[in-house]
Amino acid sequence: MGEFGLIARLAEAFAKGGQPSGLVIGIGDDAAAWRASGVQLVTTDTLIEGTHFRLPHVPWRDLGWNALAVNVSDIAAMGGIPEQALLTLALPAQTEVADVDELLAGMLEAGKEYATAIVGGDIVGCDTTMVTVTLIGQALVDDRGEPLLMTRSGAHAGDAIAVTGCLGDSAGGLRILLGESAGSAEAADCLKRAHLHHRPPLAAGQMAVRDGVRAAIDVSDGLLQDLGHVCQASGLGAIVHAQRIPISPALRQAFPQDALALACGGGEDYQLLLAAPPGVIERVQGKADVPIAVIGEMVADRQRRVRLLDEDGRELAPPRAGWDHLRGAAWRR
């Protein structure tokens, strides 16, 4: 099956996913077209074999889900609504059509979950399997039609720092997939699921921006590194209290020694980090459909440091660095 056969297959599969109301032209022309107003958002993220996943450790269906989910995570971090996605697939010549079908099915499931239509893309032959998704969405607006956005630069000194969900589970799941043994089978399953099937808290991001949160980032490279981006962009420092970082019972059971390190720098959590006045965070905590934990505060600091403190207020060395895909990430370590 060549390029055009695969494109026809994609078009057929994605048409089943339904067409959003504003869509004017979907897959199959030189460009897709849709009616838009307000502030549009766009992000793109690539998953590449060897860096972000290794077949056959990652089922194709999960790969398709995650390729969309990691982009939804970026839109969630802006407080936005995802709408249209484009898929670029780089596939080796020997790729099985059944595997591509699984990938499409996984992406369609994620599209259904996050109300996103796949409206176009590209297919190329390549020795390395690579899945690039570009996701377009729109910002929520206030009563006067002005866009509501969370940015990396929107934090202020005195803001509480909060994170959704638990951190480190995905990195723990990766270890188990790579062959490390972990506590119980239940814990192992829970951690593997966190790695293979990211669930970015989209509704919580929208709730946060509506309730007045103006600074956020998605935790994809590791808590301390991503918080560092907020510090850089906002011109502030941050203090994180190690004992407040939300760590799941499964991670503590599976990796009691490394749980904190994985939560601080494991990466691929796809949770949200929010920074806002404590009262604003409390309001969001009271409504959100996911747990939100306050872990620290933004502080004035010309050096824009992220400092991790223990229970007695003593500074801890960062348990582990985040990852940097060009230097060699988890699968290549």
**Which residues have CB under 8 Å from 108's CB, separation 6+?**
13, 14, 16, 17, 64, 118
Minimum CB distance to a second copy smaller for 74 or for 258: 74
Half-sphere exposure of 213 (CA within 13 A, CB side): 33
Among residues 85 and 108, whose Cβ is nearest to a second copy? 85
Q: Min. distance of Cβ 35 from a second copy in angstroms?
A: 6
**Interface of this chain with a second copy, residues 266 to 325, rule: CB under 8 A:** 324-325
Q: Which is nearer to a second copy, 129 or 248 (CB)?
A: 129
What is the edge-to-edge ordering of all strands in the sheet holding 315-316? Answer: 215-219, 271-276, 160-164, 292-299, 237-241, 306-309, 315-316
Nearer to a second copy, 66 or 132 (CB): 132
Nearest approach in angstroms of CB 274 to a second copy is 13
**One-letter amino acid of 295:** I
115 belongs to the binding site for a second copy (CB under 8 A): no
Other Cβ atoms less than 10 A from the Cβ of 24: the count is 10
Is 218 a binding residue for a second copy by CB under 8 A? The answer is yes
Q: Does 261 bind a second copy (CB under 8 A)?
A: no
Contact window for a second copy (CB under 8 A) among 128-136, 159-167, 175-183, 255-263: 128-136
CB 266 within 8 A of CB 200: no
Among 10, 13, 26, 45, binds a second copy (CB under 8 A): 45
Helices 60-78, 97-113: crossing angle, 10 deg rounding: 30
Among 13, 32, 176, 275, binds a second copy (CB under 8 A): 32
Residue 80 within binding range of a second copy, rule CB under 8 A: yes
Shortest distance, position 110 Cβ to a second copy, whole Å: 17
Verify binding: residue 41, a second copy, rule CB under 8 A.
yes
By CB under 8 A, tell whether 29 contacts a second copy.
yes
Stretch that binds a second copy, among 33-41, 175-183, 255-263, 302-310 (CB under 8 A): 33-41
Contacts with 290 (C-beta within 8 Å, 6 or more apart), sequence order = 164, 165, 201, 204
19 part of the interface to a second copy, by CB under 8 A: no
- Span near a second copy by CB under 8 A; candidates 10-18, 36-44, 159-167, 181-189: 36-44
9, 27, 28, 127, 158 from 3: Cα distances, Å: 10, 14, 13, 15, 54
Closest distance of CB 142 from a second copy, Å = 14
Contact string 159-198 vs a second copy (x = CB under 8 A)? ----------------------------------------
What CA–CA distance (Å, rounded) separates 76 from 48? 22
Q: What are phi and psi of 272, to 5 degrees?
A: -105, 140
Q: How far apart are the first and last CA of the chain?
A: 35
User: Distance between CA atoms of 222 and 262, rounded to whole angstroms?
Assistant: 8
46 touches a second copy by CB under 8 A: yes
Q: Which token pair is 144?
A: 């006067």
Query: Judged by CB under 8 A, does residue 144 bind a second copy?
Result: no
- Mention every residue, 6+ apart, whose C-beta is less than 8 A from residue 187: 249, 250, 251, 253, 254
In the complex with a second copy, the residue whose CB is nearer, 26 or 237, is: 26
Q: Rule CB under 8 A: say whether 206 interacts with a second copy.
A: no
